[in-house]
């Protein structure tokens, strides 16, 4: 009798499963461009005859096998009080192969140079090709 009850219980448990229910797949981490691409040698200087900046930096692809294109950069201007004064997005329409680097010059918009303390340049995204 116990065997029959156990068989009925197992049959009920397995038959109650909805065949349309989602299956839990193992988590696969997503590889992001920001893990491979880094910005080095960031410098800025005032533009001649304007209140803008010229921003120079080097973007390095540290990956051994992944190539990128259309690198998206975020440039943030910080005030003397270390508050973000402005944030600008730039897209570098070039190919950046694995293990290579590119040097970039960006022209920033007009800004109050007296209250500017520093800037930061970070990689936001890029497209693999």
Residue 118 maps to a domain: yes
Instruction: Give how far Cα 91 sits from Cα of 10, 18, 25, 110, 117, Å.
Output: 59, 48, 35, 19, 24
Residue 80 maps to a domain: yes
Per-residue pLDDT of the chain (129 residues; tens, 9 = 90+): 666 666 666 665 665 555 555 555 555 555 567 788 999 888 888 888 777 889 999 999 999 999 999 999 999 999 888 899 999 999 999 999 999 999 999 998 887 778 888 899 999 999 998
12: left (phi over 0), alpha (psi -120 to 50) or beta: alpha
Residue 124 maps to a domain: yes
Residue 100 maps to a domain: yes
| Predicted TM-score of the model (pTM) | 0.70
Print the domain residue range for 105.
Answer: 33-128
Residue 50 maps to a domain: yes
Q: How far is CA 50 from the centre of its chain?
A: 31
And the tokens for 97? 């192969």
Q: How far apart are CA 75 and CA 55, in angstroms?
A: 9
Residue 7 maps to a domain: no
Q: Count the domains in the chain.
A: 1
Q: How far apart are CA 65 and CA 98, in angstroms?
A: 6
Instruction: State the maximum Cα–Cα separation within the chain, in Å, rounded to a whole number.
Output: 96
Instruction: Give how far Cα 32 sits from Cα of 25, 56, 80, 90, 119, Å.
Output: 20, 24, 33, 18, 24
At 91, which CATH number?
2.60.40.1620
């Amino acid at each position: 009798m116990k065997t029959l009850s156990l068989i009925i219980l197992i049959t009920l448990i397995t038959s109650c499963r909805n065949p349309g229910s989602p299956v839990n797949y193992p988590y696969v981490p997503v590889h992001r461009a920001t893990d491979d691409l880094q910005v080095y040698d960031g410098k800025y200087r005032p533009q001649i005859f304007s209140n803008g900046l010229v921003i120079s930096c080097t973007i390095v692809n540290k990956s051994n096998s992944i190539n990128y294109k259309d690198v998206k950069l975020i440039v943030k201007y910080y005030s003397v009080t270390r508050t973000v004064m402005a944030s600008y997005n730039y897209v570098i329409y070039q190919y950046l192969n694995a293990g290579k680097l590119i040097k970039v010059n960006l022209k920033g918009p007009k800004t109050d140079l007296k209250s500017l303390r520093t800037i930061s340049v970070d990689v936001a995204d890029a497209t693999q090709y």
